[in-house]
Amino acid sequence: MPRVSRKQAELNREIIVEAATHLLRERGLHGVSVIDVMAAAGLTHGGFYGHFESREALAQEASGRAFAQSLLRWQERMAAQPDKTAARRAVIEPYLSAASRDNPGDSCPVAAFVGDMCHEPVESPVRATFIEGLESLLETLVTLVDGSDDEQKRQQALMQYSLMVGALTLARATRGDPLSDEILQAATSFLTTS
């Protein structure tokens, strides 16, 4: 079998990372195998180790990509708004939407990975990527909080994001029951009117 070109190898690697990014958010870090990722990428699983030294290396890169995608999505939504209040709404409302609840593969990596992180060793590279990504999202949310005291703004952002992640997680856990929509609506209302 002929070797693929460098350009094709780079494209294949990109396809693998994108497939893993989606699947890991959808199923969690421990709910996806190399075979699953390669099938989603449309490639044979035998070629995986030509691109990555381990499943953990892919998980780290894909989770980092998931955070970068979320951050970019937030920044684009914020930039399209006329003021800070509208920018906050533009981040919160889509985050706490039925679409976000029902499509975890395209949604928040924090909500997707938080349960897995509870079981990761402290020194885990994937955990370090999670914390770094969480910090980047928090720093962005801080810019949307009113006030002049940086510590108080960070505390507000921590509380708001904790409520967002918790509400989205609970809404996913109760999907199909009216309680799910009630959770999303209550959190959205609280965060956008307070």
Q: How many CB atoms lie within 10 A of CB 43?
A: 16
What confidence tens digit (pLDDT) does each residue in 40-55 have? 998 887 788 788 888 8
Q: Is residue 143 part of a domain?
A: yes
Dist CA 55 CA 49 (whole Å): 9
Say if pTM beats, i.e. exceeds, 0.85: yes
Q: Is residue 1 part of a domain?
A: no
What confidence tens digit (pLDDT) does each residue in 137-185 have? 999 999 999 988 999 999 999 999 999 999 999 999 999 999 999 999 9
pLDDT at residue 2, rounded to an integer: 58
Whether the predicted pLDDT of 1 surpasses 70: no
Q: Is residue 36 part of a domain?
A: yes
Q: Is residue 119 part of a domain?
A: yes
Q: Is residue 95 part of a domain?
A: yes
At 9, is the pLDDT very low, low, confident or very high (cuts 50, 70, 90)?
Answer: confident
Listed residue (192, 172, 190) closest to 181, CA to CA = 172
Q: Which domain holds residue 185?
A: 6-193
pLDDT at residue 194, rounded to an integer: 65
Report the CATH number at residue 116: 1.10.357.10
C-alpha torsion 131→132→138→139, nearest 10: 150
Whether the predicted pLDDT of 60 surpasses 80: yes
Q: Is residue 133 part of a domain?
A: yes
Residue 132 amino acid letter: E
DSSP state of 97: S
Q: Is residue 32 part of a domain?
A: yes
Q: Is residue 43 part of a domain?
A: yes
Q: Please state the domain count of the chain.
A: 1
Secondary structure in 3-state letters for 110-134: HHHHHHHHCCCCCCCHHHHHHHHHH
Listed residue (68, 143, 76, 142) closest to 108, CA to CA = 68
